[in-house]
Structure 1
Amino acid sequence: MSIGALDAATAYGRAVGIGKSGGLGGVAGGSAAEETGGGFGDLVSRLVTDTASSLRAAETASAKQVAGKGDLIDVVTAIGAAETALDTVVAVRDRVVGAYSDIMRMQI
């Protein structure tokens, strides 16, 4: 499963909070980073934390299904959400590593 640029931008927008108030996160009062209380590092930290919780939820749903106490559709939904979250984290990591490589190749 590949993540397109639009998917990555949408995920980034949701993580930062763009679109919650119908606009660009209330840009009139200041930048989005100031309003959310952090920068890119906090965004990545939240993204990793949310991904880990999605993976735990998928694991819990799978365990319930194996024990005969859960629905198969819940397992499939949880695994799909976890896969999407993990793909997003990997895509962000790849973009950051690519940007770092480009910066390191720049001539001063």
Structure 2
Amino acid sequence: MIEALTSLSAFDKVAGTAFSETAPVQRAALPVQAPAPAGAEFGDVMAQFAAQARDALRLGEATSIAGIQGHATAQQVVEAVMSAEQSLQTVVAIRDKVVAAYLELSRMPI
């Protein structure tokens, strides 16, 4: 399952979130990260994934603002917003699974 989530790390990133009137939108690919080593902490993996999701959401917001200002094409805006939406849906699904697992553990007799 973790291997499937690492494929989500190929989000595009705008260099900075502030756009000037004359600056075009600059896009650069985020580095694709290798799968976590076998001894990696679960919290570290989740923090890394949360940071990637946060970056995708910021990209969607920044690209939307750039589109309103006329510095980004409609295609760039749609791609960034769809990527942000996919990240948000994935984060919500993971949160739901973590909450369900916690509730299951809390119901176990000691």
| The two structures share one fold, judged by TM-score above 0.5 | yes
**Cα distance, 1:39–1:90 mapped onto 2, change above 3 Å:** same
> Whose strand proportion is higher, 1 or 2?
2
Q: Distance in 2 between matches of 1:49 and 1:60?
A: 16
Residue 16 of structure 1, CA deviation: 5.8
Question: What is the CA deviation profile of residues 79-107 of structure 1, one whole-angstrom value per residue up to 9, with x for unaligned ones?
Answer: 11111111111111110110110011011
Normalized against structure 1, the TM-score is what? 0.68
Figure out how many residues of one structure are paired with residues of the other and give that number.
Answer: 83
Distance in 2 (alpha carbons) for counterparts of 1:45 and 1:33: 16
Identity of aligned residues (%): 34
1:53 to 52, 55, 60: 55
Which amino acid is the alignment partner of residue 33 of structure 1? A
Q: Which runs of 5+ in 2 are unaligned?
A: 8-34
1:107 aligns to what SS in structure 2? coil
TM, length-normalised to structure 2: 0.67
Name the CA distance, whole Å, in 1 between partners of 2:65 and 2:107: 47
Task: Give 3-state SS (helix, strand or coil) of 1:51's partner.
Answer: helix
Is 2:100 aligned against 1:98? yes
Q: Does residue 46 of structure 2 align to residue 33 of structure 1?
A: no
Tell me if the contact between 1:15 and 1:43 (Cα under 8 Å) persists in the aligned partners.
no
Equivalent in the alignment of 1:13: 3
**Other-structure match for 2:109:** 107
4+ residue segments displaced more than 6 Å: none
Q: Name the counterpart of 1:5.
A: none
Higher helix share: 1
